[in-house]
Structure 1
Amino acid sequence: MAGARNRFAHGLGHGRSPGEEQRVSDAAELRQQLVEQLATAGHLRTAPWRRAVEAVPRHEFLNNGYFERVDAPGRPTAWTPVMPSSPSWLQSCYSDRSLVTQIAGTIVPGDLRGEITRLPTSSSTLPSLVVRMLEDLQVEDGHRLLLVGAGTGYSSGLACHRLGSDLVVTVEVDPDVATRARNALARCGFAPTVVVGDGLAGWKDGGPYDRIVAYCGTITVPPQWVDQTRPGGIILITVGGWMYSSELARLTVTEEGTAKGRFLDGRNSFMLARPQTPPPLGLLPDLDQADERPTNLGADALEDWDTRFVAQLAAPRAQRLTLDRGDRTQHVLIDVDAGTWAALHQDERGRWLVRQGGRDRLWERIADHVTRWRRDGSPGLERFDISVTPEAQTITWRPVA
């Protein structure tokens, strides 16, 4: 670990111009301000991780620029590039913000002039979440760590400072993202193992691991991660579904090759791992073909984060959309793979009505789950437990006394 810090300290200081010297000085001051902000907010709690955040320059992992969000009434969300030459770039690098670094799977800030309206596919996660997760991982000296999702490489850099490069492995599905992360890490004097591959499969050759942390979201905890973690080891992962409510779960691997744990309160949200992103909806079904019935649970219930999470437990692969159809708004849920759907709207008296089609009754399944959760006192997600076996993932809640 000391060797990694020494390489970092000397590697960036050689042959700088006066302008570069000033930027390094400004960055160090901004970085210290960020450290104090994270510590005061309770995200940065222990001395080893504090030293890592003080030392590792986030701006070096963003030197290809980032995308700034542009919102305007009546038009889709757009993104515009911000490059290191911009006066706001360095300040933003040390703000507690997630910064988008890739759009549509291939486009980086240097590729674009103007705006783009495609979806983000990679980012530098806000520092408070990065360090909170590293703290929640309960890392100790000598632990071997697997990070799933390299992003810019910043989280791997923090891990290398804490543990040493030889104990850190990161897996990234996108070869270009992996290359940029590897290059940024090298500029800072770090040399973890950076693997290009499906992070959901882990990387068996680097195991067994004492800790695994995912900087992407998943629907289910991959059993490969459990297999590659030592008994007593910890997996930290954000679990959610295609209605985009998610939460951070911490699991401990058992001697029997299973994993058990609980959810940590905090409402984490990450881009889903690419192999678990939802399929295209394709041609919508005829939403008027089924009988219409009253329902006690309206689609407005899904505006609540916790309720939506519970709904996802019943239908983790259901996608949600809103359609304006004449004088009414329809709220539609579709599970493409299961071939089932539900469409809800309110009548003139404010009652919720539902039509359902396909192989089963999607909304009835969701409503039953949400009703049972409410009957148990609507426990918060911190009262939810998760267990993973080779056969299945199970999530339950503990009723409010």
Structure 2
Amino acid sequence: MSTSAQLRAALANVLAEDGTLTDPAWRGAAEAVPRELFVGPYFAQVPDSVPTRYRPVHRGEDGWLEGIYTDRTLITQLDGRTRADDIDGDSTVVGSPTSSSTLPSLVLRMWQQLEVEAGHRVLEVGTGTGYSTALGAHRLGGDRLTSIEYDPEVGRAAAAALTAAGYAPRLVVGDGLRGDPDGGAYDRLIATCSVRYVPTAWLHQVKPGGKILVTLSGWSYASGLALLTVTGPGTATGRFLPGYTSFMIARPHDRPPRPSLALLPGEERPSLIDPAVIGTWTGDWVAQLAAPAAERMGAGPEQILWDVSTGSQARTAPGPEGGWTVVQRGPVRLWDRVEAAIRLWQAAGEPHQEGFGVTASAGGQRVWIGGEDGPGWDLPV
């Protein structure tokens, strides 16, 4: 059986060979930080289960340590309360993931994308298990890093793991979307949760010239990772980065509870776009920008949009003689908005998210294609 140190070295080698680890300092952090101190028991998805079920993988059982050093996200909490060590080894459970240890390649890639330098003060929003925090503390020193965690229980577990690993960053339990009330100005901010818009507090807490790395998401759970430069108090601009990044949405930004969906009659017409396009990574993103209060369900030509705030609905289906139809009801014509946005995106050449940018100011926040004067959509600030 391989030791933790051997597994860390092997994982670092894999990440260096695939181009993820390009900075020797971050490779050193990957080889030094024992991820098993931060994960402990975790949940493994039961294959082909509907609804999705999870089984616990307990500390010390066969495959537990090897799983920790596999480059994957490990679910550590369901429904805001259930942890893997609450479940018997032979049992499975249904739930929604609410805390996790993100796959190491993404954590390390984001730390490198943040363009952090020695001496920088960094604010991390979302301590989670503390693994990312430990990597940052190893690279920067604990006195240069503050991490905020929303969930007190998760925060306590992360604090104990960081102490056991020998790291002492400043830890805060609270709403990270409000920033650090006692931390002053920071050079960098990194978020390990997603948000619907860039919180205003962040725009004031990062120094002009400083950078914010954040995943923007929404109630359809489409995501894009953006690197913004703060241009002045309360203002910033930046671009979305290549690749495919998603995080659990910050709880204060998640959609409110809703009743079970009931599909109701409405006005029917032909659809001007293939509905399957909003099932693609960037197509879903564009649709979410156009209808930010809507939740998306369905697949292929059969898509459902349900506006959480107004109850408006849109649902598509293959047309009886080819093409597609859409039925809409409610005060917001969701498919009209999505259709117009998708056609703008298609006219621009269907760029991946790295062709998009974002601008934030006191007047609002806007995502745009190409340049700031290009087509765009306001975020739901």
Q: Same fold (TM over 0.5)?
A: yes
Q: Does 1:95 align with 2:67?
A: no
Q: 1:318 matched to which residue of 2?
A: 294
Judge conservation of contact 2:356–2:369 (CA < 8 Å) in 1.
yes
Judge conservation of contact 1:152–1:180 (CA < 8 Å) in 2.
yes
Q: 2:228 matched to which residue of 1?
A: 251
2:359 is aligned, of 387, 394, 399, to: 387
After superposition, residues 336-351 of structure 1 pair within 5 angstroms as 336-351=308-323
Q: Does 1:47 align with 2:24?
A: yes
1:234 aligned counterpart, secondary structure: strand
After superposition, residues 123-202 of structure 1 pair within 5 angstroms as 123-202=100-179
Q: Distance in 2 between matches of 1:356 and 1:150?
A: 42
Instruction: Give the CA deviation at 1:285.
Output: 5.5
Judge conservation of contact 2:218–2:254 (CA < 8 Å) in 1.
no
Q: Mean alpha-carbon deviation: is it higher for 259-268 or for 302-311? A: 302-311
Instruction: Give the CA deviation at 1:183.
Output: 0.3
Q: 1:213 matched to which residue of 2?
A: 190
Q: 1:107 matched to which residue of 2?
A: 82
2:219 aligned counterpart, secondary structure: coil
Structure 1 or 2, whichever has the larger Rg, is 1
Q: Distance in 1 between matches of 2:165 and 2:261?
A: 50
Instruction: Give the CA deviation at 1:256.
Output: 4.8
After superposition, residues 17-96 of structure 1 pair within 5 angstroms as 26-63=3-40, 65-72=41-48, 75-96=50-71
Q: 2:378 matched to which residue of 1?
A: none
Judge conservation of contact 1:236–1:250 (CA < 8 Å) in 2.
yes
Point out where structure 2 has 5 or more consecutive residues left out of the alignment: 375-381
Amino acid in structure 2 at the alignment position of 1:106 = R
Judge conservation of contact 1:298–1:344 (CA < 8 Å) in 2.
no
- Paired positions, count: 369
After superposition, residues 245-394 of structure 1 pair within 5 angstroms as 245-284=222-261, 287-288=264-265, 290-322=266-298, 331-394=303-366
Amino acid in structure 1 at the alignment position of 2:59 = P
Q: Distance in 2 between matches of 1:300 and 1:287?
A: 22
Q: Distance in 2 between matches of 1:320 and 1:363?
A: 11
2:3 aligned counterpart, secondary structure: helix
Q: Does 1:116 align with 2:88?
A: no
Point out where structure 1 has 5 or more consecutive residues left out of the alignment: 1-22, 324-328
TM-score by length of 1: 0.88
Q: Distance in 2 between matches of 1:56 and 1:342?
A: 48
TM-superposition CA deviations, 1:36-83 (whole Å, max 9, x none):
1111111111121111111111111122x111110236x321101111
Q: Once the two structures are aligned, what percentage of the paired residues are identical?
A: 44
Judge conservation of contact 2:148–2:172 (CA < 8 Å) in 1.
yes
1:204 aligned counterpart, secondary structure: coil
Q: Distance in 2 between matches of 1:29 and 1:379?
A: 41
TM-score by length of 2: 0.93
